[in-house]
């Protein structure tokens, strides 16, 4: 078993390496003057079970090309099995046709990764479960809920909790977390999105009066949805609001928006390398998913059960 790291999130790759007590494979992943990606592996990988750790976050296209070229290099070096470990799967939000003459880019990216030579994919909290079916190779979708529920119990265990989904589409995710938290009650924010990147909160389904609300989502990008939902919950009498999101995309002025919101904190994972703005924010906290990914990788290499991680 070997671990190869791309440049998108070296800190997470190193944390996984430390968890498994296994050094990262020596390799060069660099750019030519015209920004072409070049990969050179400095160790023998013939017959090895190799895991390539690479999130396809910003810059998404550069990081995706790095992943593809790493896979191709390993395939041509006769690796026995290549697993693409993609903590954050970019393009996942383009999982269906929202209108006429639009692409399903998540399927296209899945095809490209498979064609490059990946034998297996390991990801965390895919935006839509059906993306697993876009791949024609085995795909494991890990859940961040165990990491988050443990943190919620440690931090807010004494509060009267209510788990809140910021939209109707996230109810299954919110219900799964609520079940882990001794079947905490569930509320839903009914919102109407007028245009991409903007949302308007319309109504709160459920009585949140006097309760500490935990907003749960898979991706936080602009932060507008969470901030509007938090304000609506406070207006309805919530005692306080915190948010837990697996993937902190946090583009543009998202961190500043979170800092000015009524939320006590936003908790994200290190599936995407935290920016300087995230690290200096008083309201954004990062949980590591390195043990979760490391344990899943160990079980894949040992041919043992991955699903039992979540029992």
Residues annotated as part of the active site: 191
Does the annotation flag 115 for ligand binding? no
Does the annotation flag 34 for ligand binding? yes
Does the annotation flag 247 for ligand binding? no
Residue appearing with tokens 């009066």: 209
Does the annotation flag 21 for ligand binding? no
DSSP 85-145: EESS-TTTT--S-SSTT---HHHHHHHHHHHHT-SEEEEES-SSGGGGGG-SS-EEEE-SH
Mapped onto helix, strand or coil, the DSSP state of residue 266 is strand
Does the annotation flag 225 for ligand binding? yes
Does the annotation flag 42 for ligand binding? no
Burial code of 128-153, b = ≥16 C-beta within 10 A, e = fewer? beebeebbeeebbbbbbbebbbeebe
Residue appearing with tokens 């979540």: 310
Burial code of 70-85, b = ≥16 C-beta within 10 A, e = fewer? bbbbbbeeebebbbbb
Does the annotation flag 281 for ligand binding? no
Does the annotation flag 311 for ligand binding? no
Does the annotation flag 127 for ligand binding? yes
Does the annotation flag 299 for ligand binding? no
Known binding residues for D-ribose 5-phosphate: 193, 217, 221-225
Residues making up the annotated binding site are 34-36, 93-94, 127, 167, 193, 217, 221-225
Residues annotated within the binding site for ATP are 34-36, 93-94
Known binding residues for Mg(2+) are 127, 167
């Amino acid at each position: 078993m070997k671990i190869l790291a791309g440049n998108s999130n070296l800190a997470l790759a190193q944390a996984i390496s430390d968890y498994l007590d296994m050094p990262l494979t020596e390799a060069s992943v660099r750019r030519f003057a015209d920004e072409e990606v070049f990969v050179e592996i400095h160790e023998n990988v013939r017959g090895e079970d190799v895991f390539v750790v690479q999130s396809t976050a910003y810059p998404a296209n550069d990081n995706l090309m790095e992943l593809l070229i790493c896979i191709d290099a390993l395939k041509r070096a006769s690796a026995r099995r290549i697993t693409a470990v993609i903590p954050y799967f970019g393009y996942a939000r383009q999982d269906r046709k929202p209108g006429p003459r639009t692409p399903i880019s998540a399927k296209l990216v899945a095809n490209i990764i498979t064609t490059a030579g990946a034998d297996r994919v390991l990801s965390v909290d895919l935006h839509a479960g059906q993306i697993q079916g876009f791949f024609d190779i085995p795909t494991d979708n890990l859940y961040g809920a165990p990491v988050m529920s443990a943190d919620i119990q440690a931090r807010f265990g004494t509060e009267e909790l209510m788990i809140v989904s910021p939209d109707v589409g996230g109810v299954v995710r919110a219900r799964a977390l609520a079940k882990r938290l001794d079947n905490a009650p569930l509320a839903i924010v009914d919102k109407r999105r007028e245009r991409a990147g903007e949302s308007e909160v319309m109504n709160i389904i459920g009585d949140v009066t006097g309760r500490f609300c935990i907003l749960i989502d898979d991706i936080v990008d602009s932060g507008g949805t969470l901030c509007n939902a938090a304000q609506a919950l406070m207006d309805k009498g919530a005692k306080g609001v915190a948010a837990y999101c697996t993937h902190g995309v946090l583009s543009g002025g998202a961190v500043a928006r979170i800092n000015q919101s009524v939320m006590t904190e936003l908790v994200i994972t290190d599936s995407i390398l935290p920016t300087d703005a995230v690290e200096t924010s008083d309201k954004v906290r990062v949980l590591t998913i390195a043990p979760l990914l490391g344990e899943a990788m160990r079980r894949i290499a040992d041919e043992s059960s991955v699903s039992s991680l979540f029992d």
